A and B are shown apart, each in its own frame.
Chain A
Amino acid sequence: VLVLLAFQDTVLVLPQQSQSIVIYTGWERHALVGSDVRLSCSFFSWRWTSDDVTFSWTYRPDGSRDSISIFHYTGGAAYLDNKGPFRDRVEFVGNPGRRDGSIVLKNLDFNDNGTFTCDAKNPPDIVGRPSSVRLLVFETVPIQAGVITGAIIGVVLGLLVLIVVIYYLMRFLVARRVFNLSVRSVSGGLAALCPGRRPEPEPIPGTETCVAKQKK
């Protein structure tokens, strides 16, 4: 009986240990100075979305080790930053019922470069790792990583393929033109010698028979 009870305990404990909340944010966000940016945050949890679900966003500037909290949603109400670097610039646009805890940052500045961390909790599912998204503020939109790389590689390889194709095409055309010229000269010269047979440049059998007749 004791063994059975112990077994039941382990069976109950194991599924809970394998559950944990998984939080998704973007990897990086690019934005222009003065514009708004939406930082999305959602989570996956095996439990139903509880009424006590909480979202919190913290901000760590680039080059600093300290984080400051800028947004917290709990008990059905959203609390925005009213003292920190994002005072009056944060807006909650998420839907906690749909597991969305996204916020919008307005009127960005170069000082807003940094890492934003979203932490969500869905009681009783509270064990999970917060996820971070990096914000990069630019003056002008930069070219995406890898676009120029891909373009240069594509152009050079395309030129290579084009050169190869043109080379083989020229070879084919030159060979064909040489063959056509020789055919025309032969058939034109044999026009008198091949009575009843009109000289045709293209069809090969006609020429061959003419040549065969001449050889005979």
Chain B
Amino acid sequence: MLLLLLGIVFLHVAALVLLFVSTITSVWTTGNIGTSDLWLNCTSVGGLQCNPASAGEWIQAVQAVMILSIIFSCISLILFFCQLFTLQKGGRFLLTGVFQILAGLFVMCGGIIYTVMSPNWVPETESFGYSYILAWVAFPLALISGVIYVILRKRE
């Protein structure tokens, strides 16, 4: 029982960490010219020069959605520990699961928007960087974790 609990918490925290790393590090696209991400456009031609990615409404939407997914995942973790101690026997961690699933959906939205709109602010020769991949990996992790919470019943 304790092992299962640890496993679930580990999964949740892993998804959360991936979300943090993906949102904060600046490598959504990489290429010869430089890296760019949700917050900065950096070019390494003639010395590293970074400009804020302020122009563009869609990139701000992606920023917002990624931050929201982090917030919802954190709330879900806190709710999990709350419900662990206050839920009745046989109860379901429904609220925790709902928040985690919502967090996963937000990451999915962010990933989709970024994939579709990225040709607008990044040249086509650049390829997607590891932050982008981490975001897409965090999405199924969060979804699976949320579904496990919904199915899980409190015993003992």
> Given A65-B46, A145-B52, does the pair A152, B57 have CB atoms closer than 8 Å?
no
A134 vs B55: C-alpha distance when bound (angstroms): 14
- The answer on a CB contact under 8 Å between A143 and B57 is yes
Bound form: Cα–Cα A151–B51 in Å: 22
Question: Using Cβ atoms and an 8 Å threshold, which residues of chain B touch A142?
Answer: 54-55
Size bracket of the B interface: 10 to 19
Q: A146 to chain B: which residues have CB within 8 Å?
A: 54, 60, 63
Asked whether A153 lies within 8 Å of B57 as measured between CB atoms, the reply is no
Total residues of chain A contacting the partner, CB 8 A:
16
The answer to whether A152 touches B64 (Cβ under 8 A) is yes
- Is there contact, CB below 8 Å, between B60 and A148? yes
- Say yes or no for A149: interface residue by CB 8 A criterion: yes
User: Given the complex of chains A and B, what is the CA–CA distance between A157 and B46 in angstroms?
Assistant: 43
Nearest residue (CB) in B for A156 is B68
**Residue on A nearest B60 in the bound complex, by CB:** A148
Report the bound CA distance from A152 to B51 in whole Å.
23
Q: Does B71 contact A (CB under 8 A)?
A: yes
The answer to whether B67 touches A149 (Cβ under 8 A) is yes
Contacts of B67 in A (CB 8 A): 149, 153
Chain B binding surface, main DSSP class? helix
Helix, strand, loop or mixed for chain A's interface? Answer: helix
CB-CB < 8 A to B61: which residues of A? 148-149, 152
Q: Are A147 and B68 in contact (CB under 8 A)?
A: no
**B71 / chain A contacts, CB cutoff of 8 Å:** 153, 157
Report the Cα distance A145→B52, complex, angstroms: 8
Interface mask (A46-75 → B, CB under 8 Å = 1, otherwise 0) = 000000000000000000010000000000
Q: How far is the CA of A24 from the CA of B52 in the complex (A)?
A: 20
Q: A143-B57, A147-B60, A148-B60 are in contact. Are A153 and B68 (CB under 8 A)?
A: yes
CB closest chain-A residue, reference B99? A160
Which residues of chain A have C-beta atoms less than 8 A from B54's C-beta? 142, 144-146
**A134 CA / B67 CA spacing, docked (Å):** 28
Minimum C-beta distance from B37 to chain A (A): 14
Q: Is residue B65 contacting chain A, with contact meaning CB distance below 8 A? A: yes
A148→B113 CA distance, assembly (Å): 15
A144 to B52: give the CA distance in the assembly, Å: 11
User: What 5 A-B pairs come out closest when comparing CB atoms?
Assistant: A145-B54, A152-B64, A148-B60, A149-B64, A149-B60
Interfacial residues, chain B to chain A (CB-CB below 8 A): 46, 51-55, 57, 60-61, 63-65, 67-68, 71
- Some 29 contacts from A to B, beta carbons below 8 A apart, are A134-B51, A142-B54, A142-B55, A144-B54, A145-B52, A145-B53, A145-B60, A146-B54, A146-B60, A146-B63, A147-B60, A148-B57, A148-B60, A148-B61, A148-B64, A149-B60, A149-B63, A149-B67, A150-B64, A152-B60, A152-B61, A152-B68, A153-B64, A153-B67, A153-B68, A153-B71, A156-B68, A157-B68, A157-B71
